[in-house]
Amino acid sequence: MRLLDKLDAVAAARKALLPAGIEVFGTPIEEIYSSTEAKIDGRRILFLGTNNYLGLTFAPECLKAAHNAIDSEGTGTTGSRMANGSYIGHRALEREFAEFYHSQSCIVFTTGYQANLATISGLAGVGDVIVIDGDSHASIYDGCRLSGAEIIRFRHNDISDLEKRLHRLGDRSRSTLIIVEGIYSMLGDRAPLAEIVKIKNAYDSTLLLDEAHSLGVLGKTGQGLVEEKGLVGQIDFITGTFSKSLGSIGGFCVSNHAQLDQLRFVSRPYIFTASPTPATIASTRAALKLLRDGTELRRQLWENARQLYSRLQELGYQLGPEPSPIIAAILDTPQQALALWKGLLEKGIYVNLILPPAAPEGKSLVRCSVSAAHSVEQMAYVGEAFGALRKTLFQ
């Protein structure tokens, strides 16, 4: 096979799944009206396919902070954190994240993807073992590959399978990194964190928790699953992203291990990537304060999530195992999922279409992301739209 032939094969497979003329992935957003509304193809639509859980992308405090940073520090750093890219704001945000998690230190990265790539590949290497949940995000898989460590998967959220695999490692469990997520991005379910902590302690392993989709969503102050379960201080490393509840782009890792700071000198994704823009850092600092104090935002988010989850459940849709701001309707075939996705868009609702192999167990998903900024009326309309399409498409 010639070098480019494999891309032709990808195009053929995509064409077989998606009819010509339907632009599902990378849909152009023509105008943004608010955290919940935009223009697509000349029509006003309701955003239900973003991860803007707290609706902070238009928060006045974040906008003002970003504008001020651009005026005073310019549009970019034009350098890596190791060179000229560590401004006062970058260091301040690291201190604020460390304080937020009651941790000794924090490293801020340019993206959430990079946070996992850099942390995982910096912690583990050739001769080590990484044990990951089978439903882990692509950034986790890629960080594992970059590390050169042996990679072992355990069945999704299966505690007995995790323990079995650690037991087989014998003394090697001491040089093993276990990786799980607070909320999983496809079906919105949570890791059984308390049981995982017990197992990692029993086998003297190291645990990394990715709170990307649970930051701002779970816990009294929004720390994530670690706070909801009362396990702050018992997780070795916590990573996360700014691109969900914080409404910007970037990532972080916090830890009480002094060795975290050494990652700055060994993690290639950290060393060789330009640092986040001043505006990004400033808006994230403002958003972190709003997130920490956002009890009412989290209350509204969960009210919206439970309302939609209950309605779709009543309608007979197959859903993930528990209510969450991520609500995915599980369909048997890509054709069913595409029909539902297209029907919702025609009704002015933008959601995410997830096809194999990204969707679990060979299924396809129509994935909704609920926000605190959604109104009760918007949630009711979404429920009505799902109900109407249930009748026309699946009965």
How confident is the model over 349-362, as a mean pLDDT? Answer: 89
Beta bridge partners of 106: 254
How confident is the model over 207-218, as a mean pLDDT? Answer: 98
How confident is the model over 21-34, as a mean pLDDT? Answer: 83
Long-range pairs for 355-360 at CB < 8 Å and ≥24 separation?
Answer: 355/17, 358/186, 359/186, 359/330, 360/135, 360/156, 360/186, 360/187
Residue 22 has pLDDT above 70, yes or no: no
Q: What is the pLDDT of residue 382?
A: 97
CATH class of 60-292: alpha beta
Residue 149 has pLDDT above 70, yes or no: yes
How confident is the model over 172-188, as a mean pLDDT? Answer: 97
User: Per-residue pLDDT tens for 72-82?
Assistant: 999 999 999 99
pLDDT bin (cut points 50, 70, 90) of residue 357 is confident
Backbone angles phi, psi at 389, to 5 degrees: -75, -30
Q: What is the pLDDT of residue 199?
A: 98
pLDDT bin (cut points 50, 70, 90) of residue 268 is very high
Q: What is the pLDDT of residue 106?
A: 98
**35, 47 in Cβ contact below 8 A?**
yes
pLDDT bin (cut points 50, 70, 90) of residue 21 is low
Residue 16 has pLDDT above 80, yes or no: no
Q: What is the pLDDT of residue 20?
A: 58
pLDDT bin (cut points 50, 70, 90) of residue 249 is very high
Percent of the chain surpassing pLDDT 90? 89
Contacts of 370 (CB under 8 A, 6+ apart): 48, 53, 301, 304, 305, 308, 325, 326, 327, 379
Q: What is the pLDDT of residue 185?
A: 94
Q: What is the pLDDT of residue 362?
A: 85
Query: What is the pTM assigned to this prediction?
Result: 0.95
pLDDT bin (cut points 50, 70, 90) of residue 175 is very high
Mean pLDDT of the chain: 95
pLDDT bin (cut points 50, 70, 90) of residue 19 is low
Q: What is the pLDDT of residue 394?
A: 81
pLDDT bin (cut points 50, 70, 90) of residue 2 is confident
User: Per-residue pLDDT tens for 111-142?
Assistant: 999 999 999 999 999 999 999 999 999 999 99
Domain residue ranges of the chain, discontinuous segments joined by +:
8-47+295-394, 60-292
How confident is the model over 212-223, as a mean pLDDT? Answer: 98
Same topology, domains 8-47+295-394 and 60-292? Answer is no
Q: What is the pLDDT of residue 372?
A: 98
Residue 44 has pLDDT above 90, yes or no: yes
List the CATH code of the domain at 8-47+295-394: 3.90.1150.10
User: Per-residue pLDDT tens for 303-353?
Assistant: 999 999 999 999 999 999 999 999 999 999 988 999 999 999 999 999 999
Q: What is the pLDDT of residue 356?
A: 85
Residue 395 has pLDDT above 80, yes or no: no
